[in-house]
Structure formats: C-alpha cells, structure tokens
Amino acid sequence: MKKLILLCIALLLCLSETPAVYANSAIQSWSGSASGGAVPADEDCPVIVTHEDLILHTGPLDENFAETSVKQASFEPFVEAIYTLKNPSDEEVTVRLAFPFGNIPQYFMGYGITSLNEDLYKIKVNGNDVNAALRYTYNPSAWNADPEESLSRLSDTYRTDPFYSPDLPVHEYQLTVSGLPEDGQDYRMEFTHDFSDGKSVLFMSINSIAFDGTVMTAGRSVKNGSSFTVYSAGEDIVKDLSFIFSDHAKETPAEGSVQVQFIESYSFADYAKNLTPKDLKISETDWYNSLVDMINSGYFGNYVLDSPMENRYLPALLMSWYDYTVVMKPGETVQNSVKAPLYPDIDQSYNPPVFTCNYLLTPAKTWKEFGDLTITVETGAILRTYDDKVFPFKETENGYVAELKELPSEDLSFELCAVKKPKRNSSYATIVAVFLGGFGLVFVILAVLVIKLVKKVIKKKSKRY
C-alpha cells in the first residue's frame, strides 16, 4: 500500500517538473493586422456604393513566409477593393475617402521594417491613377482594429489637448550619478514628486513606477557614472527633484549624488519631431497627433513616462491609411479601385502553418447606401471560414468566391492552410500526450487505492457482525 502511494507522489512530482521542450526557438506565431474598406470622411456624403468587388490575393503561404516576405523587394499578399460609386445628387460632389489597411505586422517590425514600397499599391478612378496621401493614426490594437474610431483621429491639424500643445516648452537635462560605492554593483535611484498641479510631465527612462493619486515615485537602476536624459514638459521641475539611493531590495541606503546639467529648451512639437524614426514616412502632424493620443491613453503611465518609449513602441501602434479624393459630376457613376497590402496572421504551431486573414466589412455601413458584394480569394491554399452561412464561399480554379446580396453583419475572417487538417507540431503534441498520459496513469493508481481502501473498510465492518 505504501509503495503505491509513493509511486503516485513520484509520478506527480515528475509531471510537475516536465519541461516544455520545443523543436527550436523560432517564434511560433506572428500577428498580422486587419484591413478595412474605404469609408467617407464626411458623414453627410450623398455618394452610394452600388457594387463592390473585393479581391484578396495571398501568394505562396508556407513555413518561411515571415522570413522570405521581408527579404523580397516586394510583398506579394494584397487586397484590392473595386467600388462602383454613384452620385445620385444634382450637384458635383468631392468625396474624401480614407482606406485603412492596418498596422505594420510583427513579422515586419521584427526586421526593423516600418514602411512598404508605395509604388506597389495604386488607387485609380476609371483606370486613371489618383494621388493619395499615406496617413497614420494611433491604433493600439492591430487585431481588434476600429477604423471608425481611428478615422476620428485623422486630422490635418495638430491635436487640441488640455495640456499638450505644439508650443508647450520642453526642458532637456543630462543627469550623471556619482558618489556610489565602486563595487560594480547596480543600485536603485528614485525620486518622489507631487504632480497634483497638473503643470508638468517628465519623460525619462525608468524601471519602476508607483503612485498614490498624483504623487509619483519613479525608480531606475544605476551605477556610479551612469548618465541619462530627462525631459520636463511644461513647468521645469528637474532641478527641484530630490534623489535617494539604495540597494535594489530597498533595504540598505547608499550614498550617492546626481549632477544635473541643463542642455536646452524647445517646443513639444520639436520634441515629437526629434523622436520620429528616420525610415518612417509620416507627416509631422500625424506623428505628433499619434504621440499625443498614445500618451493620453495612459498605457505608458501618467506624469512620469518611460522614454524613449515613443519611437520604440509607437510605430507598431500606427494604423496605415490611404487618404484621397474623388470628384463626381451630378448623376455620375465611376469605378474606384484601391490596392493595398494584406497582412495575414501566421500560426506556426501547426504543420503546415495556418494563416488567418481579417478584413473589416462593417465600417462600410457608414456609406449612405451599399449594394451587393463579391469576395474573391486568390490562393492555392485550402480556405475555412468561421461561418459558412454568412460567407458562402465556393471553390474556383484560382481560389474561392462568395456572392453577397448585401453587406454582412460580421467582418470577414478566414483561415488558409496547405492541407485540410493541419497537425500540431510534435513538441506540442508530445507535451499534451505526456501530460494527459501521465495523469491518466495517476488516476488509475488512485482508483486502485480507493478500491482497496473500500474493500478493507467492508471487511472490517463484516468482522464486527
């Protein structure tokens, strides 16, 4: 009996220590981004859509997609929306349109790519090229994009904000640590400040932040001789800060001092401009407005913000737009085509990998009227939708096609894979098998123990009578 109990305990201990073994250290999944159709920037736009042909072209989809797509001069997956537009009014109409095509995907950001070759993508009206501006807005979620909300952020002027303005002064300081023990160890440096007057914000590199209302305590790891930059936006409070030092556990105080050196003052607009990544083709206004929106989201804190988080994170949080205009005469019908990149999600935990394409159809309801819709998926892979009734795809020689008489109430999302039933990679399957198989054995042994105990109890009771 004791041997069985010890065996159960040993098995449980073994299972609790089973390591997650993977075939390699490669990233198992990459997140793409959702695209969406053109929407009128003017809510009172009289133009209607009588028909749309939506084409999603994937190109080859395999396990090397993430690596090869960024090494090629061109990126093959694209979406092309071809609208038949009609102006039913008696007046000439200039329609300003915005076409969102998502955030730069992870598999580009991982290689430091923040923009694409714009020559690969065109906007046409009746076959003629139309000038379009590549615009950006702050969009914190590439997987749950809200073009309507992002569209409200699209502005040709600087964002109006209670605190941040283009002329807001920013004071730059260089701080250097000295006086710490020369033992090669890292120490904790922190300060506490009350920001209740709402007149200042600090941008600096920090490791920790704690707050009690508007009283903020910020800390960072330093060594003797450490030097870093602090920016004070609004009122200049850097010279008023008092710094204390300790070990990282905050148990033992340490002797240290900070030399504060003023560098220069400039406007917040210039501060934002200096943070713009050199390889990102973005207007000063779009970058400024996106920066203010990101700061005000509170995601990176309040009053004391980790810097330079702005150019580290913001490029990945930008939704890309084509901004263009179409001029239509009274009663005129035109064909407007928009071609943009398509960014699928990649799940490499399956063999072969599974690709998911997302396209937002519901924002098209902002049009005054919207007619029928034909969706064509050009692919050599096998397609699976989450709702065959909403999107009744039929297989064709070059992929799949679905005919819809009206706009669906759902956004388009479908999976693509080279085979009908992909398998989980062996690393995942092995872990699951070991996990379930091991516990199955434990349950069998426990069941045997219970049966033996029950038999003993029955025997004892029978002896009493």
pLDDT in tens, 77-135: 899 999 999 999 999 999 999 898 888 887 777 666 666 666 678 899 999 999 999 99
Compute the mean pLDDT over every residue in the chain, rounded to the nearest whole number.
82
pLDDT in tens, 37-55: 777 777 788 999 999 999 9
CB-CB contact of 241 with 202 (8 Å): no
Residue 93's pLDDT is 93
Is residue 394's pLDDT more than 70? yes
Is residue 26's pLDDT more than 50? no
What's the whole-number mean pLDDT along residues 367-394?
94
Is residue 158's pLDDT more than 90? yes
Is residue 30's pLDDT more than 80? no
Q: DSSP E strands: which ranges in 152-302?
A: 169-178, 187-194, 200-204, 208-212, 215-222, 227-234, 244-246, 253-254, 257-267
Stated as kind and residue range, the H or E segment containing 429 is: helix 426-464
Higher pLDDT, 383 or 104: 383
Q: Which of 144-158, 390-404, 413-427 has the lowest mean pLDDT?
A: 144-158
Tokens of 205: 């590199």
Query: Could you tell me which of 211, 243, 246, 249 has the C-alpha nearest to residue 228?
Result: 243
Residue 452's pLDDT is 56
Max mean pLDDT among 247-251, 299-303, 419-423 falls in 419-423
Q: Mind giving me the DSSP string for 153-165?
A: H--SSPPP-SS--
The domain ranges of the chain are 2-22+425-464, 169-313
Confidence of residue 248 (pLDDT cuts 50, 70, 90): confident
> What residues contact residue 397 under an 8 Å CB cut-off, 6+ apart?
none
Residue 20's pLDDT is 27
Max mean pLDDT among 19-23, 249-253, 278-282 falls in 249-253
How many other β-carbons are positioned within 10 Å of the β-carbon of residue 1? 9
| Percentage of residues in the chain having pLDDT higher than 90 | 51
Q: What is the DSSP letter of 198?
A: -
pTM: 0.79
Residue 309's pLDDT is 61
Confidence of residue 146 (pLDDT cuts 50, 70, 90): low
Residue 387's pLDDT is 84
Residue 19's pLDDT is 30
Max mean pLDDT among 45-54, 205-214, 274-283 falls in 45-54
